[in-house]
Structure 1
Amino acid sequence: MFQSATKKIVSEIDPDGYTLFPVKSPYHSQNCKQLHLLIKKKKSFFSRRESYVPTPFTLKDILIDGQDLDFGSSSSIIACYSEAFSTSVSAQVGVDSGHVDVGGHISGSSSKAMSCVEMRKHTISERTLLDVVKDGKVNRQHRFVKEMKNNMVYVILDVIETEQACSVNNSAKAETGMQFLMKLLKMEAELSASRERKLTFPAGTSIAYKVSEMMISSSDTLELDWVKSFSRSARVTTFDRKEPLAASLAELTEMCADKKPLFLNVIFEILRHSDSLVVLDELLDPIMNDLQPDFQVLDQTEEDNRVCVEKMLDLLGIRKEIPPGEPLALTAESEGIIRAINILIQSLSEMDAETLILLASSVKAEITSKQLQLVTIIDDKWSGGIQYLRAFKEGEEDPEKVLITQLTDEEFEITQHMLEEFGFQLDRESASLLRIKDRKQQDIIALFAAVYALNALCD
């Protein structure tokens, strides 16, 4: 809920997304302050921007005699923001096919309200930074510097904070039921979730920050990286991104049949407690960089979210009792599964809570395979790369039209609601996929990864 709120605020005050990074968790707020240092993460499949992890270390800490330096910060009120939002979706599923009767109901609703948020911006100019550190020397023996993989230093100069306490109220409810009757066999499965959440931001909570990149020179002084390109976050990817994603998620397809339901059940819990996604991403991402995760984040996590996270860690064979500094004892198979689950968690983190409800409903309605084919078509047509108009041979049917035609009215409604978040809609009359006019398109690749992974676990 915290990340959803900060992302929404940042999208309003920095719509182009070139300058500000939203704070992901209240746990990070204390380290997202001016002069705090960041660790640059490997770029995610789902982000065209850089990503950083805040640390408790500051620029002053790594400079010899840095504690005596005055960087001269300025501050000003920049904006007020408030929001009220509600949505609902419902569907009935009924199919009679010979000896098999399938019936189901899917419904979901959510509402969100954010009190007026008055924000203050604290700024240190890059010119001031240069003037202050021009004679300073970096302490090469400092713990942070010794663990750096290169000579690049990432430091927070600008921070946007709440001026006064504010709150976010979020309620979500989802119900999904499927009943299968096959001759004398009867199986029933139910998913029900109801959540009423209220989160209060105290005054001084960091909402977003701006990053400056510096280089440690051969003489151990700091210099700004003037070569960085502001256009890189907007560059277009022209290669097929689905192939490497599918390869990384292949471990879920090959997972033994008795494990898949266990993972799927925990993922359903995570979909109902979306705040756990931030915590899981925080714990799994260091493992991908051969680092031990910081299990202290669990101590700052609410009970429901913590339980979800711990269940997933247990399934992945990650024990929080491992002494600090010791490497995780992982097999090649477990590393592959962790990598696949990490990608799934990252993809789900890109989505709204309403979409997570629809994903859970889609799994229960057994339509993820159809949705995967539709999302693949969308990415092929509108990914930003070269588009090819395929000519169909006589008698050959357009797979896009075939898929949409095969969707029942209820399946169509569920899929339609899901695609709307990403700026697309299904047209029933023409059996085609369309872009929504005057709507900013979100990258569909995150939905591809989520549906691919969930479909793999359902096989």
Structure 2
Amino acid sequence: MLAIATRNFVEEVDRGGLLIPVSSLNDTIALLTVVVKRKRFWFWQKPKYLPTDFTLNDLVTGDTPLQPVVVETDFIKYSGTFGDNIKGTVGANLANTTVNLEGKDSSKLQSSFGSLKKEEINVQKLLRDSKDRMLDMSHSLIQQAKEKHRRVFGIVKERIVTTQPCSVIEDVQQEGQCGGVLGICGKKNPKIALKENGNLSTDSNVTMEIPIHTTIAYGLIELVVKHDGHFELCLMSDTDGGFEVDSSNKPRLVGMSGAPAHSSEQSSSLRQELEKLSDHFKLLSSLSVSIKSSLLKQITKLMQDQASISALQHVLDQICLEKVPDLDDATMTESARQNIKAILDLLEKSGQMGSTQAAGPSTSALTAIHLLTSALDEMTNDCFAVLGMCCSPTVLATLEQLVQCVLGNGELPLSSLGLAEDVYEKTEHLFASSKISLKRDGDVLKTEINPQPGNLPLILCIVIRSLASLAHGV
């Protein structure tokens, strides 16, 4: 709940910037706190940031601690409400039984952080004071980080903190009415009341009180660590830190952030990146209909709550690193835990559970689903919410047509899509949230990639191609 609230906050006040949202109240984020940045499996993924229990003064040699000058300024007064309302009616015939289902689903997350302030270090003074200092290369944290690939040290140079007690409130309400047999899986597992007339209602209201002086976001300066313990501060935002011992064999992956200005050239770059991932889409499409259908169903359930997708992505990360996944995470809802377990069982049943490391350049159902969930986890909240309403096989097939249009000449007959007006509006918003514009010109639909930095167009195309592959023949 807190992770989603802080992520919403950062997207609103610093989208595309350098602020990192805090994901747990257990993280102690002070100025000069050492944070380990872990690069991910796919080049377009945002890195993971792991705050440690140490500050820079714990790692430097010498008896004189660094004493940075701290500047405090008022930041903003922040209150945000995010939510969605979904209504629908479904009729189906299942095993000679007619089922009619009507449902309403609404969720709301309200974050009232109040007046916030920014604390930041005077970087020029820190640069002067640390010029001749060295790190203790025998320190356990440094030794453990050096043994891992894709690890970078950063220190907290600024943080956004609360100045008063505040709260995050999540309210979930669901209602359903049916004739025949009904099964509903909702976002939470709160109190449930089933009445004799077939009405099902669920309510959940959770309030998290956040104390004063709590850090909700922070910014880093990365470190370049030399063999002998000397270190440099990365003062430019496009300069990466790291250990000098890793520099000779550390791969540099070129992303889409430097995309060319012309839409046709961007389409070509996007097409090349997706072609590299085509084996993953083909594998998903080649799974048995029953497994594809079940995977799509379980993933769609998890997509009702972005935190659940993040939990699945973390579990698959652990498996790909050949670690035993932790399904007893206290932050995971029971509903999410059961859905994730069902997905793992389906992957096991497919006979393709080879890890990313073990599989090498080849692919498996595990790596293909890991690709999908990693892309889902990178989507903006706005894009994610709209996508959750577009996961029927019919709509996914249409979205896949639009992806092909983006990768091709950028035009196709609007009538060939067969979209209802309300669905078209959702589709238009979905693509616009990922920096792809859809424009109608008579019966012709034109697509264009907006010339802005970032990987959102690629991420959206990966998600659509993956989900559509699972929907093939379902």
Q: TM over 0.5: same fold?
A: yes
1:429 deviation in Å? 5.6
Q: 1:108 to 1:94 in 2, by over 3 A?
A: same
Superposition map of 1:56-455 within 5 A: 56-65=53-62, 68-85=65-82, 87-88=84-85, 90=87, 109-146=106-143, 147-148=145-146, 149=149, 153-171=153-171, 193=186, 196-200=204-208, 201-226=210-235, 229=238, 235-236=258-259, 238=266, 239-240=269-270, 241-285=273-317, 288=320, 290=321, 292=323, 295=326, 298-313=329-344, 315=346, 332=359, 336-351=364-379, 356=384, 359-364=387-392, 366-378=394-406, 380=407, 399-404=412-417, 406-409=418-421, 411-412=423-424, 415-416=427-428, 418-419=430-431, 421-422=433-434, 424=437, 427=440, 430-433=443-446, 443-455=456-468
Aligned with 1:123: secondary structure?
strand
| 1:19 to 2:18 alignment | yes
| 1:40 to 2:72 alignment | no
Deviates further, 447-456 or 306-315? 306-315
| Partner AA of 1:374 in structure 2 | L
Q: 1:94 to 1:256 in 2, by over 3 A?
A: closer
Post-superposition Cα deviations, 1:196-245, rounded to whole Å, max 9, x if no partner, equal: 45352333333221111222234322222356637999532641232234
| 1:5 to 2:5 alignment | yes
Aligned with 2:259: secondary structure?
coil
Post-superposition Cα deviations, 1:381-418, rounded to whole Å, max 9, x if no partner, equal: 8xxxxxx67xxxxxxxx6343433x2245654553454
Long gaps (5+) in structure 2: 93-97, 189-203, 241-254, 261-265, 349-354
RCO comparison, higher one (Cα < 8 Å, 6+): 1
Post-superposition Cα deviations, 1:20-67, rounded to whole Å, max 9, x if no partner, equal: 2223x22663357642222231374545x6654434443233333579
Contact 1:216–1:223 (Cα < 8 Å) also in 2: yes
Deviates further, 64-73 or 3-12? 64-73
Aligned with 2:5: secondary structure?
helix
Q: Distance in 1 between matches of 2:49 and 2:106?
A: 33
Q: 1:250 to 1:3 in 2, by over 3 A?
A: farther
Long gaps (5+) in structure 1: 96-100, 180-186, 318-327, 382-387, 390-397
Contact 1:370–1:403 (Cα < 8 Å) also in 2: no
1:312 deviation in Å? 4.0
Q: Distance in 1 between matches of 2:368 and 2:32?
A: 35
Contact 1:91–1:105 (Cα < 8 Å) also in 2: yes
Scaled by the length of structure 2, the TM-score of the pair is 0.69
Q: Distance in 1 between matches of 2:356 and 2:427?
A: 41
Q: Distance in 1 between matches of 2:256 and 2:466?
A: 26
Q: Distance in 2 between matches of 1:375 and 1:60?
A: 51
Post-superposition Cα deviations, 1:249-285, rounded to whole Å, max 9, x if no partner, equal: 4432233444333423331331123212233333433
Post-superposition Cα deviations, 1:317-369, rounded to whole Å, max 9, x if no partner, equal: 6xxxxxxxxxx898639973332222222222244667556545433463211
Aligned with 1:203: secondary structure?
coil
| Partner AA of 1:264 in structure 2 | L
Q: 1:108 to 1:177 in 2, by over 3 A?
A: same
Post-superposition Cα deviations, 1:76-118, rounded to whole Å, max 9, x if no partner, equal: 43211112355545567899xxxxx999978654444332432
Alignment match, 2:469: 456
1:158 deviation in Å? 1.3
Scaled by the length of structure 1, the TM-score of the pair is 0.71
Contact 1:118–1:164 (Cα < 8 Å) also in 2: yes
Aligned with 1:29: secondary structure?
coil
Contact 2:316–2:370 (Cα < 8 Å) also in 1: yes
Q: Distance in 2 between matches of 1:67 and 1:400?
A: 71
| Partner AA of 1:198 in structure 2 | V
Post-superposition Cα deviations, 1:139-188, rounded to whole Å, max 9, x if no partner, equal: 22223322324895322221212223322334456799999xxxxxxx99
Q: Distance in 2 between matches of 1:155 and 1:401?
A: 51
Q: 1:356 to 1:92 in 2, by over 3 A?
A: farther
